[in-house]
Amino acid sequence: MTGLFITFEGGDGSGKTTQIARLAAALRAAGRDVVTLREPGGTVVGEGVREILLDPAHEELSPMAELLLFTASRAQLSLTVIKPALDAGKIVLCDRHADSSVAYQGYGRGLDLAMVRAINTWATGGLVPDRTIVLDVEPHAGIAAATPHTADRLEREAIAFHERIRAGYLEMAAAEPDRIVVVERDATDAVWSGVLAALAPVLARAGITLGA
């Protein structure tokens, strides 16, 4: 059995968690071994790095330090958890991966896109998802979903930052149509059928059919 690496991307509050939980349940019901992970985090080291990254007190964090911290968490997760799980034939569902750094630190912060990609290729040992779903949502609608007084450091950024990220994801999807699929986030049921349709080809290759 071949492993399958599926990632979910999108702006803050785009509803990734709900879709990942539903997909994990459906795949488990189909008898597959599923691992769900999130970034930053997913390892003891990564959860520590996550606290540093999301703490609103760390306003002074430079874009490059931010990139390297996200990527450090990803290196740990990719090499010690994701790759071994894929080698064991499991399906790995990850809430964000390297595309988040291209979108947030590249398009959002303005760091050089080629550099962000190169650092990530090095840090993950060249790991690339089999398929990536971008849940697309209007930035203001998405961010409003987060409770304002508990908003983390990145959620507090200006709307223009989140608009650059959204445009970045759409550009990335247009550049890699065979891997990255955009699913509009409107009514919940439409999102789930969009996710199923986007995954159908890779799931079929792994011998899996999921009904709506």
The CA distance from 41 to 26, in Å, is 24
Task: Give Dmax over CA atoms of the chain in angstroms.
Answer: 48
The CA distance from 113 to 4, in Å, is 26
Cα distances from 49 to residues 45, 74, 83, in angstroms, run 6, 10, 20
- Residue 14 bridge partners (DSSP): none
Distance in Å, CB of 88 to ligand TYD, minimum: 24
- Tell whether residue 129 is a contact of ligand TYD (CB under 6 A): no
Backbone angles phi, psi at 20, to 5 degrees: -65, -40
Distance in Å, CB of 62 to ligand TYD, minimum: 13
- Residue 21 bridge partners (DSSP): none
Interface residue with ligand TYD among 70, 132, 135, 139 (CB under 6 A) is: 70
- Tell whether residue 104 is a contact of ligand TYD (CB under 6 A): yes
Closer residue to ligand TYD (CB): 38 or 131 = 38
Distance in Å, CB of 22 to ligand TYD, minimum: 16
Closer residue to ligand TYD (CB): 40 or 194 = 40
Closer residue to ligand TYD (CB): 5 or 104 = 104
Site residues, ligand TYD (CB under 6 A): 12, 38-40, 54, 70, 95-96, 100-101, 104-105, 152, 154-155
